[in-house]
Structure 1
Amino acid sequence: MVRTKPSATVLALIAEVEKRGCTANPFKVERWQKEAWLPRSRDWLVPGSAVLRPEIVHRAVQLAALSRPGRSIAWRGWVFWAFDDTPESAQRLRAALAKTLQRPFVRADVEQVPTGDSDRATRARRKAADRLLEGRRSHRRDFDAILRSHAEAAGFELPSAPSRSMPSPFHRAVLETGARMMLGGSADVTFEDLMQTWEQARPEAAETIERARTAHRKVALNAGDDVDYVDLMEQSPLADGLPGLLRTVEEADDRTICAAVRLCTTASGTLKLLFERAAYEPEILPRLMNDVMWDQWVPHGGIVPDGVAGEAVITLSTVQYLVVPGWPEDLERYRSYMQALLLAPPPKGPNP
């Protein structure tokens, strides 16, 4: 196929990228524009001049650094869409999040979820849940235990694990219950099912779990006398399973969807930098751990791997942002706290 000769502006951008130690070519630039990671070339120049805008050069250098032959930049491309915050970029984020939510169903060849409360439909959903989990291994590495072993080797004591600790979404029991709820919603998973799952995944949180049970019983007993009673299971975003989550993502406005992904990815990037710094400033870790967001976000939402696994982590955090009251404010507060730790000067060593 005959391609148009690259313009002088494109060649100038490639030259600037190469000056900064990265590589680019017209084909890469064309792909970045096709994916809406880089604006159209007519928007690259400082108005009234032939000078490239610094932010365009910076964006191109970032893209060149992320690009590898035969590999997608995966969720890192979402970051550019989130920061651009346009109707087009928001729609691309919706599509990417929806695709990630549906990926396990596509892999398991679950094309249609059986509906209804008949025994036949319930059994069909159970079988579909089993297919979702076929060949899937739960994470055996205990994030908290790994950190503590490294700290002990360095002669540094970390705070004790809080009893409030939520179960990891990657624990086998949580995966099994989650698969059933994604398929059948609150019709297939009761509050007690959730408590039993929590017990299996976090037996050390028995006291917290029993308090939750007691509070739920009191609310249920008083439900008949309370005209304003709301069943929290029915109000959950998972009450309708996967369709409910997809609807939540689709109905979020442009600004909200971009803000959600922007905060989740920025917070994860800041956490990564702090972990790197903690290698020679271990006192950073206790400061990070003495916050509720360490428990609710760091182990299963803060550490983002490459590839589709990272897309799943970002999607999980984004859904929490969209559906959990107060969670965006908590994550923004924690991100600001982490940013302050990152910008703080390192402690001075002992005087010689």
Structure 2
Amino acid sequence: MVRKQPSIADAALIAAAVERGATPTPTQLERWRAAGLLPRNEQHGAGQGRGSVSTVPPEAVDLVVWLSAHARPGRRPGDLALEAFGAGLPIPEPTVRAAWLAASTDFHLDALVEPAEGADRSDWIADIAQELAAKHSGKSVLLPQRIRDVDARIATAGISFALPELAPFDRGTYDTEPYTSRDLLTTAVSAVLGGTSELAQGDLAAISRALVPPGSAVPVASMLEYPDGGPGLADINDGHGLTLLPAGDARDDLDRVVTEASPAQLRAAWQAVDDMHHWAVSLCDAVEAELDGLAADEPLPEYPGLQQWFFGITFGLNRLLLRQALLEPVPSSRARASTAVMLLFLATGINRLRAMVPDAQFELLPVLLPPFLHQLAELVAADLPASLRPSESA
């Protein structure tokens, strides 16, 4: 088939890209526009009844140069959109959001066939969780080797994981079954598909204990195992419909996080994945250096690395983030976006807590949270999503 010659605007766009070392073709421009990766030329009246002329949007040249270097046969447009967005390029926003939404849940949950009408959703969730856990459990470990090595060195140094000031607040677990990476995946899938209806407090307690060294004092896990009449996870709310955790399918909440986030928040979440990995490696380096000093009988005045390490053991969240960062140091575009959505969900959850418990000691967050998560939470707080604004959630 004979293709028509490129328009004057496209010819100028190609020429501008060539000047910068790229070699795009008219066919590629058509393909990128069809995929939503490249904005269409802008139409303007030529004046005095002479019809219209097309002009290239100012950002198009940068996009064409980038796409010429990165677009290859077989590469998904969504992955290209995410990478270009992460690189600071002005990919059309509808395409970017669609790519984020497609990556918002792990394990390809968006491709699942929903249960038939009238079927028991809990049974369906249990079957799906078991199926996906069996499929993926061999690809992961409960704790990366570096975390286990550091824990072993701490124990060898004679440092107890049951800190004296915390031990009285942990009654000890009532669950003696060994916990595996498959158990973790089953719980994660069940939580995504069913929210608090499928997530018992004991499940979170089991995760908290499974990710820390044996004998650790974990007050948070103890509180979940022995709530003593306190509110259940499903009951924590602000009285106006705002809940701490989703009561049903969490995919709806994850999609809402992406839909309501500003472009600046999405970009910050994308960068936070890199920051999380740098934080994890730096923390391991710091703890190992401090343990080297103890082994050489050269004590230091302070041990900030070990302090942060024990924060993770005590409160759980930092330990989970450390695990995620070390398990996947170089994630794919889709996996990176999925992790970024998880971080954005956590940052949003922190601000849900601000709305529910406004008099809590949130001034401690900079000490308790890793810097990348605290900064993301502050960015969300500065421009709250619609579902967290008092006037709209009340």
Structure 1 range deviating more: 184-193 or 311-320: 311-320
Alpha-carbon shift at residue 67 of structure 1 (Å): 1.1
Alpha-carbon shift at residue 84 of structure 1 (Å): 7.9
Q: Which residue of 2 aligns with 1:36?
A: 36
Return the alpha-carbon distance in structure 1 between the equivalents of residues 348 and 272 of structure 2: 16
Structure 1 residue aligned with 2:211, among 178, 201, 206?
201
- Structure 1 segments (4+ residues) deviating >4 Å: 50-55, 79-86, 113-116, 141-144, 146-149, 215-218, 251-254, 269-272, 285-299, 301-304, 326-330
- Residues 268 and 376 of structure 2 are in contact (CA less than 8 Å); yes or no, is this contact kept in structure 1? no
Give 1:35's aligned amino acid. Answer: A
Give 2:39's aligned amino acid. Answer: P
- Residues 39 and 57 of structure 2 are in contact (CA less than 8 Å); yes or no, is this contact kept in structure 1? no
Distance 1:122 1:252, change over 3 A: closer
Structure 2: unaligned runs, 5 residues or longer: 44-53, 151-160, 167-179, 290-303, 355-368, 379-394
Q: Secondary structure at the match of 1:145?
A: helix
Structure 2 residue aligned with 1:262, among 261, 267, 282?
267
Deviations along 1:170-210, one digit per CA (max 9) or x if unpaired, are: 943321111222233322221112111222233458312x3
Q: Which residue of 1 aligns with 2:248?
A: 240
Return the alpha-carbon distance in structure 1 between the equivalents of residues 106 and 346 of structure 2: 17
Q: Which residue of 2 aligns with 1:145?
A: 146
Alpha-carbon shift at residue 295 of structure 1 (Å): 5.1
Alpha-carbon shift at residue 16 of structure 1 (Å): 3.1
Q: Secondary structure at the match of 1:313?
A: helix
Q: Secondary structure at the match of 1:16?
A: helix
Structure 2 residue aligned with 1:72, among 65, 73, 76?
76
Q: Which residue of 2 aligns with 1:221?
A: 229
Return the alpha-carbon distance in structure 1 between the equivalents of residues 135 and 6 of structure 2: 47
Q: Secondary structure at the match of 2:135?
A: coil
Alpha-carbon shift at residue 12 of structure 1 (Å): 2.8
Give 2:189's aligned amino acid. Answer: A
- Residues 104 and 337 of structure 2 are in contact (CA less than 8 Å); yes or no, is this contact kept in structure 1? yes
Distance 1:20 1:235, change over 3 A: same
Structure 1 residue aligned with 2:108, among 83, 104, 107?
104
Structure 1 residue aligned with 2:184, among 170, 174, 197?
174
Larger relative contact order (C-alpha < 8 A, sep ≥ 6)? 1
Q: Which residue of 1 aligns with 2:202?
A: 192
Return the alpha-carbon distance in structure 2 between the equivalents of residues 15 and 288 of structure 1: 54
Give 1:246's aligned amino acid. Answer: D
Alpha-carbon shift at residue 321 of structure 1 (Å): 4.1
Give 1:20's aligned amino acid. Answer: R
* % same residue: 20
Structure 1 range deviating more: 187-196 or 76-85: 76-85
Alpha-carbon shift at residue 135 of structure 1 (Å): 1.9
Compare CA radii of gyration and give the structure with the larger one: 2
Distance 1:200 1:231, change over 3 A: same
Give the alignment's TM-score, normalised by structure 1: 0.61
Deviations along 1:61-108, one digit per CA (max 9) or x if unpaired, are: 22222212222254441355686889x72575156415653863466x
Return the alpha-carbon distance in structure 1 between the equivalents of residues 59 and 146 of structure 2: 42
- Residues 78 and 93 of structure 1 are in contact (CA less than 8 Å); yes or no, is this contact kept in structure 2? no
Give 2:115's aligned amino acid. Answer: Q
Question: 1:309 aligned to 2:335?
Answer: yes
Return the alpha-carbon distance in structure 2 between the equivalents of residues 203 and 102 of structure 1: 27
Question: 1:319 aligned to 2:353?
Answer: no
Distance 1:311 1:90, change over 3 A: same
Deviations along 1:213-267, one digit per CA (max 9) or x if unpaired, are: 237746x52559xxxx9823993434313xx43245247655x253332112233
- Residues 350 and 377 of structure 2 are in contact (CA less than 8 Å); yes or no, is this contact kept in structure 1? no
- Residues 265 and 376 of structure 2 are in contact (CA less than 8 Å); yes or no, is this contact kept in structure 1? no
Return the alpha-carbon distance in structure 2 between the equivalents of residues 270 and 123 of structure 1: 39
CA RMSD across the alignment: 5.2
- Paired residues in the alignment total 297
How does 1:41-56 map onto structure 2 within 5 Å? 41-42=41-42, 55-56=59-60
Distance 1:185 1:68, change over 3 A: same
Alpha-carbon shift at residue 131 of structure 1 (Å): 1.9
How does 1:84-95 map onto structure 2 within 5 Å? 89-90=93-94, 93-94=97-98
Deviations along 1:5-30, one digit per CA (max 9) or x if unpaired, are: 21233233223333333332222222
Deviations along 1:105-152, one digit per CA (max 9) or x if unpaired, are: 466x54227888xxx654443222212223213424955718989xxx
- Structure with higher helix content: 1
Q: Secondary structure at the match of 1:261?
A: helix
Structure 1 residue aligned with 2:65, among 57, 61, 69?
61
Return the alpha-carbon distance in structure 2 between the equivalents of residues 306 and 211 of structure 1: 33
Structure 1: unaligned runs, 5 residues or longer: 44-49, 150-160, 165-169, 337-352
Deviations along 1:30-65, one digit per CA (max 9) or x if unpaired, are: 23223333222228xxxxxx9977743223222222
Give the alignment's TM-score, normalised by structure 2: 0.55
Structure 2 residue aligned with 1:249, among 248, 255, 262?
255
Q: Secondary structure at the match of 1:235?
A: coil
